[in-house]
A and B are shown apart, each in its own frame.
Chain A
Amino acid sequence: MMKVSTLFFLLHYLLVGQTGYEIARQVYQKSNPEDLSNTMHMQLISTKNKIRSHVMKSKSIDGNRKQMIWFLEPKDDKGVSFLKIEHIGKDDEMKMWLPAFKKIRRITSKKKNDAFMGSDLSYEDLSSRVLDNNKYERLEDQILDGKDHFVIEISPKRKVSSAYEKHLSWVDKKTFNIVKEISYDLKGKIYKEKEFVYTQIKKYDLIKEVYVKNIQKNHSTRIKFTDIMLNQNLGEDLFKEKNLKRIPFD
């Protein structure tokens, strides 16, 4: 029986190649480090080319499902910190430390489409995609910057609340990294264009730069990640309210 099914899949792969779902699975199931620390340099560029810059320190575990962010710059934001814990099947937990008030405040995750810190990335963009929450369709392969890419169409399933109708993702055939993505709003109009640049540290492909352009608002965001460190044995204990009040040195 095993032999028959193996033969069937082999035959299927040879005849039609990988399906969209299979490509997506390979993308999402790529191994992630146990934990990740970095410094995020975020630049927001307005329609009138005015720039706002933020620098944040981030630590995360579990493929970013638990993340702590401390604001370092600009001066106005310094000391503010943010804790996010994603839950499957219920609202994410998001808390902020407001040093001037000496208070921790929970913030809503109701408006998932809202921009994170005025950037072009929404909380939905920042959340990890769950493989079975979307439908995948493989489109014709394309060459991008001289490299061969899969192109897959990712559409959130009806039961999933999303600000997007679909995404077109360009997946590097060698690394299975998404290097480019075009997202469409619920009316089917192009909403955002995203570009990703990776760096390889140890055996992991880690994003070192993201560029997002909101086509409809003509506003863009560039995030560069520096001081990337991984597998530092960050324990679950770090992701507690009490740690919001302290900016880590490393």
Chain B
Amino acid sequence: MSLDAKIPGGQLADKWTTYKNNVKLVNPSNKRKLEIIVVGTGLAGASAAATLGELGYKVKVFCFQDSPRRAHSIAAQGGINAAKNYKNDGDSVYRLFYDTIKGGDFRAREANVHRLAEVSVNIIDQCVAQGVPFAREYGGLLDNRSFGGAQVSRTFYARGQTGQQLLIGAYQALERQVGLGNVQQFSRHEMLDIVNIDGKARGIIARDLVTGKLERHFGHAVLLCTGGYGNVFYLSTNAMGSNVTAAWKAYKRGAYFGNPCYTQIHPTCIPVSGDYQSKLTLMSESLRNDGRVWVPKSKEDAQAIREGRKKPTDIAEEDRDYYLERKYPSYGNLAPRDISSRAAKEACDDGRGVGESGLAVYLDFADAIKRLGKHVIEERYGNLFEMYAHITAEDPYTVPMRIYPAVHYTMGGLWVDYDLMTTVPGLYALGEANFSDHGANRLGASALMQGLADGYFVIPYTIGAYLSGEIFTKAIPTDHPAFEEAEKHVQDTLNTLLSIQGNKSVDQYHKELGKIMWDYCGMARTAEGLLKARDMVRKLRAEFWQNVRVTGKADELNQDLEKAMRVADFLELGELMIVDAYERNESCGGHFRVEYQEEGEAKRNDDQYAYVAAWEFRGIDNDPVMHKEELKYETVKLATRSYK
């Protein structure tokens, strides 16, 4: 199958407007007859389900948590970008577009990113209308701050809880539609397969996590808004339940997976403290507005700190290496995430890391507190400082924070065209679950923007292009053989997992997989390491299916079984990420291949690799097949990405 991104013609800035003016519409009486399934209730899913319900479609929305409001978008701290130019500092739709393309190391699709920048301004308007309490200035107007990878202040925020407030806004809009009867909500339900009929997505199999019962649900279209797959690394900033299962089942049912190796390692997380650790906690990138990142200049000082003989405050100003300010003077501490993370790794690899493990650098607020006063810092970051103190038992107002990079976001995801449709007709992917807008590295405060753009302002238009052709399709009864087959397939998998009764727990496999992925497919990758890792993952997966122990039964609330299903999919995904990383013989954004660098910076190869790698599933024991979508840059000139 050839990959057609269906990018509209015309000038870049006119494409979306032209598209909206020409896309087919569905009239209100027909909307009532069309059923849409939305899986996932983060920013993308909740905003899509609410908006499609408002439009009059019959919507069913699913989440594995006990309420749609728990989805992990809620944990986003820093903010959401929008090209409002309220600060009069030179921002524009074009600049937000360009920063995002450049931030993504020229590996994103121009037309999608421009649309994202265009609708960013509508998102802020919509959220304010819903009652999202963004930070304001004394004049009553909205406040902004700056974020990594940008030289303008375009980030809107609600204290350090922006994701929470945006999600609650979308959740309330969704609940309003539930109350009005336009949306049916299925909480504590996990999607475990996609049902295709005659080449189109027509429904899902979901497991009621309380009773364990499998359910069949029909939809004229299915939207996957199920987030990213960072938990393949075991330790990440994702929620414990975040998983790849929905996207992975879609891949195995014919949807191509785009750029699976593009992973974002976030530079400012609380370092690992012990092998019992279950997750890593992010400290918002916004902290880099006022915090300065440093390590000691000398290895001796660093060692003295690690051994507890010296405190960070004992290190004189001239003996500190503010390495981001030194290496990237024009962006300084606001260098993009991939670059900051790599720089932290370099400093630690050089023996100048701090903390007990030596895998940490300092984020120091002493200067900012001296300049602005403690109360200002408290107002800006109070809740983050509190969280840090809870976890580490250290006071960041007096002792610099210790931070280290951690897996945070996955730019890769299901391949989608301009309409956000996957390669399976009627199956869409929105938000982090798709691959589309961030290229090889996502800029801070852009994930919230993309999730809401897709849900509020893109899918309500683009779904019409497909559903206008479905108005004569009657709801397909769920006793159709395709539903039977899919349900049986899920039931068999559940039964198999429960019947193995081996010697190792699901978590043990997950941890082992995570370590392989982090060591060989994490911040630095080599061809040799990736080859080795692929073999290791395959062996681990084979062992899992022989020796995993899952307790309990299928027809009850069984968290062990839920986890086993997710880890089984991670064990397959891990291999695809490795294959993709191996095939991409260049460094770009979050994908750093040690063999391809120039003076320590990522070295892209635009002649050969300016494409999206979209992988097709060919059976678990066969190699996946890569399809290329060439990235055509009509407006932007490809350039070496410099933040110096």
B and A form one assembly = no
Chain B positions within 8 Å of A, measured between CB atoms, are: none
Chain A positions within 8 Å of B, measured between CB atoms, are: none
